[in-house]
Amino acid sequence: MGDERARWATMGNHVRLSWGHVLVESIRRLSPGYLISANPIMFTVELGALLLVALLAVPGAVPPRMEFFYASIAAILVVTVWFSTFSESFSELQAKARVDSLRALEKEIIAHRVTDVGTEDVRSSVLRPGDRVKLSPGDFVPRDGFVVEGAAFVDESMLTGESEPAFKSKDDHVLGGTKVISGSLIVEISAEAGKGFVDRMMDMVSSARRPRTQSEISLSILLGVLSMIFIIIVGSLYFTLYFMGYRPDVAMSVSLLVALMPTTIGGLLPAIGIAGVSRLAKDGIVAKSGRAIEASGDTDVVILDKTGTVTEGNRSAVEFVPFNGYTEADVGVASFMASMNDSTKEGRSIVELAESKGYVPPSPLMDEVLVSRRIEFSAETRYSGIEFIWSRKPYGPRDFQRFSGPGERVVNRLLEMRVRGEGARVIKGSVDVILGMARPGNPGDVERAVREVSSRGETPLLVAVNDEVIGMVVLKDRVKPGIRERLRELSDMGLKIVMITGDNPLTARAIAEDAGIRSVIARARPEDKLKAVEEEQSLGHIVGVVGDGTNDAPALAKADVGLAMNSGTAAAKDAANMIDLESDPSRIIKVIQLGKQLLTTRGSITTFSIANDVAKYFTILPMMLLAVDPRAAALNVLHLYNPETAVLATMIFNAIIIPALIPLALRGAGFSAASPRRMLVRNVLIYGLGGAALPFVAIKAIDYLLYLLLFVR
């Protein structure tokens, strides 16, 4: 995990972002056709600039000796709009460059196509229906098809959500993207390129659309209402002065309108998006859009996929169950020996559980275990273990020393076999296979135990010594360490947590209880997961989805916040608007906390912008009236030099405040998870009062500089 994170940090610092492309894109977005739908506030500002340019082009339309003033105002307005489009272009192209860099790490599946003379390695994209491919352990199925030869266990968890490997044999259907765990297969490709299971999931992804969040809608309504009010005010003022016999200046009227409109927050919204993308990137989370991060602050429902998200995605040993008078230690020691050479995660978990309980063979028997013959697990046999060779010289009765300790019944039985030179083997495997090879002491006890374990959604493996069943190992898809505590943090923040899975209800409920999750949806198909998201959204909830399988892709696409694991499928990562390179689902907490901080920042900057507008109103309006009536000089409380310098100073301040506040947007206004409302009130007071005072000081200073530059020789 650390190496992956370090690699991403390096990659994130060296993302190939073309500044020329950013510049071109920012200029392209100056198009009125784009701005009218993407940013109506900046569209209005640009419209004012175009009006002034049009007046400059018409002879006599501009008052004498005012051409420079009109041109300066028009240029400042264009620069104001460009600051906004540049920030937006930079944010989106930077995020896209990071995702493109991540996708470049993915490799196409190489298939072993069967030919008349053997096999040849080809790319999966060149396979056609009817081609046959050979699959060995560790190989990925290149495309949907049917088994024509062989048998194997196939891991379909990344597609179907089922954690238990599926047994595939002749005529069974296999899905592209699944992985062969054990055994071998010859598969005949049945799906054309672009028409497999994964492609159908991607079609669902492309048809899913993310709705706007409630906070985005509310802010848009607020800014729209304020803009309309200011347009009405400025328009009414202009025509009132005109009908009173005055000649109000068009450039000053446009400047007054721009000064009143909330251009600061309109221009800084992309910068807030940059903050989320950049800060998450440092922690190894790829965010495709800053808007998705902002939506995470409103999230109140989180839907988690079970396999690989809440759980480790692999069955692990959790219990040893003895039969026929044997003890738990007997079963544990035997299971340890049967799993010593088992390199699978299940086998390693059995060894770890036995070691944790102290169920390890004593040294005389361990020496024999180390030189024993390994019995490999295969899809056909469905069992594994060891067969003792008794490689040392023959033993007599005097060589036998009875062992006293954990597992003594099994240990002493095997040591006695060594003395007598009898063959001995210890195996574990599926219930039906072991019962066909060994006898249980009490079949009723075994049947009841197997039924009880299965009813809990767990998997039983029987353990046998030679022809006697001595016990059972219980396997369970174990929850990830620490996930319960992390999910409790989400609950404490008021979020509803839902676990959704393709597993059976018994397994799903057991896992949910271990993870501390109350809401569970089991046996879910891709359509059901998408439906669950839509139902929550229809109730007004903002939904976050965490997943890693292709079956999660439609829900990830529809959700307001979709966080995919980097260990997941390409379909899931394409559908999501965020990718966690460390594949830790609990890190959605970090995403949500950052989202809430961004909401606080946006609220603070909105307050700052509105306070700015009020202050700028009291600088431009008196000078606008002074331009038509000298008696308004009493309103010039800042003692600005003249109406032209005052308006230019205000417009310059209005433009430069956008890039000046970008560091604040990137750093954030501060957030405390324990008391977000208190933090918001504090920030509103700080940025509200600061936003009202700063313009008076800054505009006065800029006005004085303009006086020195333009009028002092």
Beta bridge partner(s), residue 297: none
Q: Is 378 annotated as ligand-binding? A: yes
Yes or no: say if 361 and 407 are a contact pair by the CB < 8 Å rule.
Answer: yes
The closest of 678, 656, 310, 650 to 484, measured between CA atoms, is 310
Nearest to 703 by CA among 640, 651, 616: 640
381 in a known ligand binding site = yes
Kindly provide the b/e burial profile for residues 377-412, where b requires at least 16 CB atoms within 10 angstroms of the residue's own CB.
bbbeebbbbbebebeeeeeeeeeeeebeebbbbbbb
- Is 379 annotated to bind a ligand? Reply is yes
Q: Is 377 annotated as a binding residue?
A: yes
Closest to 563 measured CA to CA, from 589, 601, 528: 589
Q: Is 559 annotated as a binding residue?
A: no
- Whole-number Å distance between alpha carbons of 476 and 467: 26
Q: Does the annotation count 305 as an active-site position?
A: yes
Output DSSP code: residue 309: I
Rounded to a whole number of angstroms, the distance between the first and last alpha carbons of the chain is 66
Among candidate residues 319, 322, 333, the one with its CA nearest the CA of residue 413: 333
Residue 383 annotated as lining a ligand binding site: yes
Q: Which member of 144, 305, 477, 703 is catalytic?
A: 305
Residue 552 annotated as part of some ligand binding site: yes
Pairwise CA distance, residues 339 & 313, whole Å: 20
Residue-level length of the chain: 713
In sequence order, which residues have a C-beta less than 8 Å from that of residue 118 and are 6 or more positions away?
none
Residue 428 annotated as part of some ligand binding site = yes
Closest to 345 measured CA to CA, from 514, 165, 160, 564: 165
**CB-based contact 675:599 (threshold 8 Å):** no
**Sequence-separated (6 or more) residues with CB below 8 Å from residue 277:** 91, 94, 95, 98, 287, 289, 290, 293
The answer to whether the beta carbons of residues 331 and 322 sit under 8 Å apart is yes
β pairing state of 543-547 and 519-521? unpaired
The CB density around residue 592, as the number of other CB atoms within 10 Å, is 25
Closest CA to 158 of 541, 526, 436: 526
The first and second tokens of residue 648, run together, are 């230019």
Give all strands (DSSP E) within 159-266, no chain letters: 166-168, 173-174, 179-189
**Coil/strand/helix, residue 370:** helix
Residues 57/39, Cβ–Cβ less than 8 Å: no
Q: Report residue 372: phi and psi, to 5°.
A: -75, 165
Chain centroid offset of residue 20 CA? 30
Is 359 assigned a ligand-binding role in the annotation?
A: no
Buried b (16+ CB within 10 A) or exposed e, 340-355: bbbeeebbebbbebbe
Q: Of 189, 204, 154, which Cα lies nearest the Cα of 572?
A: 204
- The residue among 617, 641, 643, 639 whose CA lies nearest residue 629 is 643
457 phi, psi to nearest 5 deg:
80, 15
Residues labelled catalytic: 305
Binding-site sequence positions: 342, 346, 377-384, 428, 548, 552
Binding-site sequence positions for ATP: 342, 346, 377-384, 428
Binding-site sequence positions for Mg(2+): 548, 552
